[in-house]
């Protein structure tokens, strides 16, 4: 057993990652601009980006200068777009790392145009978090005319829902583009869910995130992703808990009968949600074992009374074991979290184990 695998770890199926990217690209009919922000949603930005380069993406999307710098240090080439607004003091760092900022104010564009480097226009059509409001784009007329953006984009706030909000945002985006003195050659708006629900894409690239990493927008979507991520931990203790005894802090679990309880070497400091206390479940030898007591910082207890379990056994918190599977969505729902929050919360102290395509 590899030393890094002794406690708890995250497995990333790179073959599934590539299949998901290919499925999205074929459905949309345009290149990918994969979002690898937040350490590629917890999967490891450098390894994910290097793998996705096999699909010849247009570029990569990040949220911070530091994330872009990490990719550059790893020799990731091509455009890297920073999708959160930059503060004035960050422009030099973005320039040094050859990053493409997304700008949405006259002041920001005026400052960046001195660099004569590419930039993208962020248009707010309903998110109300960043970008120039769609009905105020004309205020940027002079700076756009002097230094036109490489591209322009907006962001759908409810692309998973079957309602009119996407149509309204697209109408606003079209109105904003009509006000530009120069139409950018590159236009984009769609995240994973938008592509799942409508194809082909009317834009030049798509910006997938969660679908790449194995989480779709529901059974009603036209395509479904292959699972990419698994989380596993070792059993480090097995003991008999007599009837009436408690398990973990605050005694929230009291054994109604003699039970056999195992301890896994994983806790909320690793990103396994504390909200799964007394309600989550894991797989041991293909059988479900419920979480008992409060999830602690470094350890989580499970009832293995009816499950084969010994010291050193492998527990699957997310993933497949035998004929059963626990999905990211299953765990997120049980913890009352979004899948995004769950994945990005997986702590770096759990090493990533990458499974190559065909392995």
pLDDT in tens, 172-227: 999 999 999 999 999 999 999 999 989 999 999 999 999 999 999 887 888 999 99
Q: Is residue 212 part of a domain?
A: no
| pLDDT at residue 272, as a whole number | 97
Last residue of a domain, one of 176, 197, 218: 197
Q: How many residues are listed for the chain in this entry? A: 359
pLDDT in tens, 307-326: 999 999 999 999 999 999 99
Q: Is residue 35 part of a domain?
A: yes
Confidence of residue 3 (pLDDT cuts 50, 70, 90): very low
Before 131, cis peptide (omega within 30)? no
- Name the residue among 9, 30, 43, 33 with its Cα closest to residue 214: 43
Torsion sign (Cα): 264, 352, 338, 297: positive
- Catalytic one among 37, 41, 253, 272? 37
- 181 & 261 share domain: no
Residue 87 belongs to a domain with what CATH number? 3.20.20.10
| pLDDT at residue 5, as a whole number | 58
Last residue of a domain, one of 150, 174, 197: 197
The tokens describing 276, both together, are: 């799964």
| pLDDT at residue 4, as a whole number | 47
**What distance lies between CA 292 and its chain's CA centroid?**
29
Mean of pLDDT over the chain: 95
Work out how many domains the chain is built from and give that number: 2
Q: What is the mean pLDDT of residues 247-266?
A: 98
Q: Is residue 148 part of a domain?
A: yes
The tokens describing 184, both together, are: 């950018």
- 287: how many CB neighbours lie within 10 A of its CB? 16
- CA 157/CA 191 separation, integer angstroms: 10
pLDDT in tens, 117-176: 999 999 999 999 999 999 999 999 999 999 999 999 999 999 888 778 999 999 999 999
Q: How would you class 133 by CB atoms within 10 Å of its CB: exposed for 0-12, middle for 13-18, buried for 19 or more? A: middle
- 43 & 185 share domain: yes
Q: Is residue 147 part of a domain?
A: yes
Instruction: Decide: 266 and 8 in contact? Cβ < 8 Å.
Output: yes
Instruction: Decide: 182 and 150 in contact? Cβ < 8 Å.
Output: no
- 130 & 277 share domain: no
pLDDT in tens, 287-298: 999 999 999 999
- 49 & 170 share domain: yes
Q: Is residue 14 part of a domain?
A: no
Q: What is the mean pLDDT of residues 11-33?
A: 98
- 163 & 298 share domain: no
In which element (H, E) is residue 47 found? helix 45-52
3-state secondary structure of 151: strand
- CA 37/CA 46 separation, integer angstroms: 11
Going by the DSSP 8-state scheme, the letter that residue 221 receives in this structure is S
Which residue do the tokens 């290919």 mark?
22
Q: What percent of the chain has pLDDT over 70?
A: 98
Is the pLDDT at 114 greater than 50? The verdict is yes
- 168 & 53 share domain: yes
Cα-trace Rg, the chain: 23
- Catalytic one among 183, 213, 249, 337? 249
Instruction: Decide: 150 and 115 in contact? Cβ < 8 Å.
Output: no
Q: Is residue 320 part of a domain?
A: yes
347: containing domain = 229-355
- 167 & 274 share domain: no
Last residue of a domain, one of 181, 197, 213: 197
DSSP letter string, 11-40: EEEHHHHHHHHHHHHHHH-S-B--B-HHHH
Q: Is residue 204 part of a domain?
A: no
Could you confirm whether 337 is annotated as catalytic?
no
- 63 & 177 share domain: yes
| pLDDT at residue 235, as a whole number | 98
3-state secondary structure of 45: helix
Q: Is residue 220 part of a domain?
A: no
- 193 & 249 share domain: no
- 178 & 250 share domain: no
Could you confirm whether 268 is annotated as catalytic?
no
The tokens describing 66, both together, are: 């530091």
- 253 & 348 share domain: yes
Confidence of residue 2 (pLDDT cuts 50, 70, 90): low
Residue 234 belongs to a domain with what CATH number? 2.40.37.10
Confidence of residue 1 (pLDDT cuts 50, 70, 90): very low
- 179 & 249 share domain: no
């Amino acid at each position: 057993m590899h030393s890094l695998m002794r406690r708890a770890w995250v497995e990333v199926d790179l073959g599934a990652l590539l299949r998901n990217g290919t499925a999205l690209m074929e459905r949309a009919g345009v290149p990918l601009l994969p979002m690898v922000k937040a350490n590629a949603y917890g999967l490891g930005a450098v390894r994910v980006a290097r793998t996705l380069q096999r699909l010849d993406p247009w570029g990569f999307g990040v949220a911070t200068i530091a994330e872009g710098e990490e990719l550059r240090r790893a020799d990731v080439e091509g455009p890297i777009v920073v999708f959160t607004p930059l503060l004035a003091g960050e422009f030099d760092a973005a320039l040094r790392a050859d990053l493409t900022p997304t700008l949405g104010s006259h002041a920001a564009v005026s400052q960046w145009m001195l660099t004569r480097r590419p930039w993208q226009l962020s248009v707010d059509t309903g998110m109300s978090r960043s970008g120039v409001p769609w009905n105020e784009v004309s205020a940027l007329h002079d700076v756009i005319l002097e230094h036109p953006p490489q591209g322009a984009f907006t962001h759908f706030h409810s692309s998973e829902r079957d309602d009119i909000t996407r149509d309204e945002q697209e109408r606003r985006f079209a109105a904003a583009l009509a006000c530009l003195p120069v139409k950018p050659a590159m236009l984009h708006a769609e995240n994973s869910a938008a592509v799942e629900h409508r194809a082909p894409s009317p834009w030049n690239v798509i910006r997938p995130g969660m679908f790449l990493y194995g989480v779709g927008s529901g059974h009603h979507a036209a395509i479904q992703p292959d699972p990419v991520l698994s989380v596993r931990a070792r059993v480090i203790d097995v003991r008999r808990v007599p009837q009436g005894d408690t398990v973990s802090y605050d005694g929230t679990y009291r054994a109604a009968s003699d039970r056999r309880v195992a301890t896994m070497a994983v806790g909320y400091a690793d990103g396994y949600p504390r909200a799964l206390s007394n309600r989550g479940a894991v797989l041991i030898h293909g059988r479900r074992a419920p979480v008992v007591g409060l999830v602690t910082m470094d350890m989580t207890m499970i009832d293995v009374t009816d499950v084969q379990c010994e010291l050193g056994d492998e527990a699957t918190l997310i993933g497949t074991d035998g004929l059963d599977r626990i999905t990211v969505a299953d765990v997120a729902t049980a913890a009352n979290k979004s899948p995004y929050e769950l994945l990005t919360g997986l702590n770096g102290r759990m090493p990533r184990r990458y499974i190559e395509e065909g392995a």
